[in-house]
């Protein structure tokens, strides 16, 4: 059998994902799975759930979980995906999750007063200050000033690009008029 993404040969005992779509049933090799994990951890809102490269059907979450546990990445997965679920299902319109880019620490902020661009992590073993737009560490006041001018200026462009990617990945059904 071969990987549907990179066409590498997959042996029987190798780690692999199998597409759950009966018409597809293609395989994805361990190297491509790891690449998909890295992409997902980088931008979970845009890259979760993991999709088959051949038909774009979601992989079975139990299969994905088993691989994450086997590779000892499940904690990283939970820290990455749990905020995604919280932000969609648990937050009010004026609330936003702010996650430290260097550890699993998360805060809920209300956005009524002013937008949140910087976070000082309250986790005892971290304590880093970071820019929530570019996700880099803030070293001092001069560095914050630089981020305040550059990152905030480009923030609206980043949001516009993310919305375009999200809307571009959705298909509109001409028959039922649903988008998904």
Domains of the chain are: 1-90 (3.30.40), 93-168 (no CATH)
Task: Look at residue 77 in the predicted model and tell me its pLDDT.
Answer: 86
State the pTM of this model.
Answer: 0.56
User: String of b and e for 67-104 (b: at least 16 CB within 10 Å)?
Assistant: bbeeeeeeeebebbbebeeebeeeeeeeebbbbbeeeb
- The span from the CA of 51 to the CA of 26, in Å, is 11
Q: Which of 59, 117, 106, 58 minimizes the C-alpha distance to 81?
A: 106
Task: Report the pLDDT value the prediction gives residue 180, as an integer from 0 to 100.
Answer: 52
- pLDDT (tens, 9 = 90+) of the chain, 180 residues, equals 899 989 999 999 999 999 999 999 999 999 999 999 988 887 776 778 889 988 989 999 899 999 999 988 888 888 778 777 777 777 788 888 788 888 878 888 887 767 778 889 999 999 999 988 888 899 988 888 888 888 877 877 877 887 777 776 666 666 655 555
Q: How many CA atoms lie within 13 A of 138 on its CB side?
A: 23
In the chain, the largest separation of any two C-alpha atoms, in whole Å, equals 57
Long-range contacts of 56-61 (CB under 8 A, 24+ apart): 57/19, 57/20, 57/21, 57/24, 58/20, 59/17, 59/18, 59/19, 59/20, 59/28, 60/17, 60/18, 60/20
The pLDDT of residue 112 is 74
Rounded to whole angstroms, the Cα distance separating 145 from 65 reads: 41
Question: Cα(57)–Cα(167) distance, rounded to whole angstroms?
Answer: 17
């Amino acid at each position: 059998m071969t990987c549907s993404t990179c066409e590498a040969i997959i042996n029987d005992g190798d780690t692999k994902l199998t597409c759950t779509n009966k018409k597809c049933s293609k395989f994805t090799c361990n190297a491509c799975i790891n690449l998909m994990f890295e992409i997902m951890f980088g931008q979970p809102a845009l890259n979760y759930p993991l999709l088959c490269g051949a038909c774009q059907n979601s992989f079975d979450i139990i299969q994905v979980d088993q691989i994450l546990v086997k590779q000892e990445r499940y904690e990283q997965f939970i820290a990455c995906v749990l905020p995604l679920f919280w932000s969609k299902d648990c937050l009010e319109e004026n609330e936003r999750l702010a996650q430290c880019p260097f550890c699993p620490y998360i805060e809920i902020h209300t956005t009524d007063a002013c937008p949140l661009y910087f976070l000082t992590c309250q986790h005892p073993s971290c304590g880093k200050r970071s820019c929530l737009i570019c996700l880099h560490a803030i070293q001092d006041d001069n560095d914050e000033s630089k981020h305040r001018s550059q990152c905030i200026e480009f923030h609206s462009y980043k949001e516009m690009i993310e919305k375009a990617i999200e809307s571009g990945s959705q298909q509109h059904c001409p028959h039922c008029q649903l988008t998904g």
